[in-house]
Amino acid sequence: MGPRVARSILAAPALLLALGAGACARKGQPSGGPPDVEPPRLIAASPDSGAQGVPRNVSPTLAFSEGMEPRSTGDAISIAPRIDIKERRWHGRTVALVLAESLAANRTYTLFLGRGARDRHGNLLAGGATVVFTTAATMPPGVLEGAIVARGFPPAGNYVWCYDAARGVTPDSTARDFDDIGLTDHDGRFRVVGLTVPGRYRLWVFVDLNHNHSFEPETDILAPVDSLFALTPEAPVASGFTVPVANPHAGGFVRGAVIDSLGGTSGSLMVVAVAAGDSLRRVTAIADSQRRYELQLRPGSWRVRAWRDLDHSRDWQPALEPASAERRIEVAPASEDNSVDLVLAPPPGGR
């Protein structure tokens, strides 16, 4: 790869190349030296990001800041719209892609490097990377740029699938049938570029929580974005929007204070949450010195109570120990409720 490619790809990162945040220098692992903990970086690509008039028989190449683990990195490389990669040929830190078919005429492609790419020491490529190029004479001007608000999962390295609404398709999670793609950075920001104008587009957010490059409902997230984005020659860019995405598998946090005006000092202030549908499922916490507590609970209905554990048994003795009234709460996925305060009352005997 000539120096022109490296200069070009690094000269305009804000325009069309979305690189994951990473360290600024390559770090090796000399014998007896400290372990390599720096994430690798994509430092050059051919075609360049933003390249126009790319030959349809091109063999794209990617160069990295250090030696990569071939299998995991090769598996993390894909192209949208889908073009199968027949072979990945490694030469040192550079991989050349042999495509199974020629690129289509007058079409824009995104070569993307997703989760799972790692160097030979196991350090993941932070955030992933995208390279956008077109076989057309000019790059289409359409751009969608926004940010996901991640709840219950890391914001970086997630996929934003883009579909031409005119196709009227529902995503096939196994077919990689999207028309374009973006990757989120450490702040959840993403850009989908090279879209045809005029056009209308829909977005879906795919969070590959088990890192196997395939959507599995039991572990992963595939969330549609409600908005339909219409791009026109007068307004080819839609930006500044946010997309809230919650992990339906993630628990929620319940926080609050135990309010004790009875003047007691013995024992610990305990809080217990019991699942409404399963009395054997319990989560307990001890209030801190400020009488604050925190519980992490699975989504669903819970019954929450506080008490002063005078005998240190961690079991409430209703006839002897001050306790709050039971509160019923609903925990939504990846939620936070910081206002569940519990007020202690004396036991029936008045102690």
- Looking at residue 100, its amino acid is A
Answer with the one of 115, 135, 155 that is the final residue of a domain.
135
Same domain, 239 and 314: no
Same domain, 232 and 111: no
More confident residue, 192 or 14: 192
Is 307 within the bounds of a domain? yes
Residues in the chain: 351
Using a pLDDT cut of 70, give the percent of the chain over it.
90
Same domain, 17 and 65: yes
Burial of 182 (C-beta count, 10 Å sphere; 0-12/13-18/19+): buried
Distance separating alpha carbons of residues 254 and 78, to the nearest angstrom? 41
State the CATH number of the domain containing residue 341: 2.60.40.1120
pLDDT for 12 equals 40
Same domain, 273 and 238: no
Answer with the one of 135, 161, 184 that is the final residue of a domain.
135
Is 287 within the bounds of a domain? yes
Q: How far is CA 102 from the centre of its chain?
A: 32
Same domain, 1 and 131: yes
Is residue 4's pLDDT more than 70? no
Global pTM reads 0.74
Is residue 99's pLDDT more than 60? yes
pLDDT for 19 equals 39
Q: What is the pLDDT of residues 168-180, one digit of tens each?
A: 988 887 778 999 9
Is 350 within the bounds of a domain? no
Same domain, 161 and 112: no
State the CATH number of the domain containing residue 161: 2.60.40.10
More confident residue, 221 or 350: 221
- Of 31-35, 125-129, 145-149, 183-187, least confident by mean pLDDT is 31-35
Is 331 within the bounds of a domain? yes
Is 270 within the bounds of a domain? yes
Alpha helices (H) in the chain, listed in sequence order: 3-11, 70-75
27 phi and psi, to 5 degrees?
Answer: -125, 120
36 pLDDT tier (thresholds 50, 70, 90): confident
Structural contact between residues 273 and 328, judged by C-beta atoms closer than 8 angstroms: no
For the four alpha carbons of 3, 94, 74 and 151, in that order, the dihedral sign comes to negative
Same domain, 121 and 164: no
More confident residue, 105 or 28: 105
Is 337 within the bounds of a domain? yes
Q: What is the pLDDT of residues 232-288, one digit of tens each?
A: 999 999 999 999 999 998 999 999 999 998 887 889 999 999 999 899 999 999 999
pLDDT for 207 equals 94
pLDDT for 311 equals 93
Is residue 10's pLDDT more than 70? no
Number of domains the chain contains: 3
Summarize the confidence of residues 304-314 as an average pLDDT: 96
pLDDT for 3 equals 36
State the CATH number of the domain containing residue 106: 2.60.40.1220
Burial of 178 (C-beta count, 10 Å sphere; 0-12/13-18/19+): buried
Summarize the confidence of residues 43-55 as an average pLDDT: 96
Q: Considering just the CA atoms, what is the radius of gyration of the chain in Å?
A: 27
Same domain, 243 and 262: no
Structural contact between residues 96 and 89, judged by C-beta atoms closer than 8 angstroms: yes
Same domain, 106 and 61: yes
- For residue 170, the enclosing domain spans 140-249
More confident residue, 285 or 212: 285
Same domain, 192 and 312: no
155 pLDDT tier (thresholds 50, 70, 90): very high
349 pLDDT tier (thresholds 50, 70, 90): low
Answer with the one of 84, 111, 135 that is the final residue of a domain.
135
Is 351 within the bounds of a domain? no
Is residue 16's pLDDT more than 70? no
Same domain, 239 and 328: no
Q: DSSP assignment, residue 311?
A: T
Is 181 within the bounds of a domain? yes
Task: For tokens 């939504």, name the residue.
Answer: 332
Q: Which two tokens stand for residue 12?
A: 């305009």
Distance separating alpha carbons of residues 112 and 118, to the nearest angstrom? 14
1 pLDDT tier (thresholds 50, 70, 90): very low
Candidates 72, 65, 83; CA nearest to 212 is 72
Same domain, 217 and 261: no
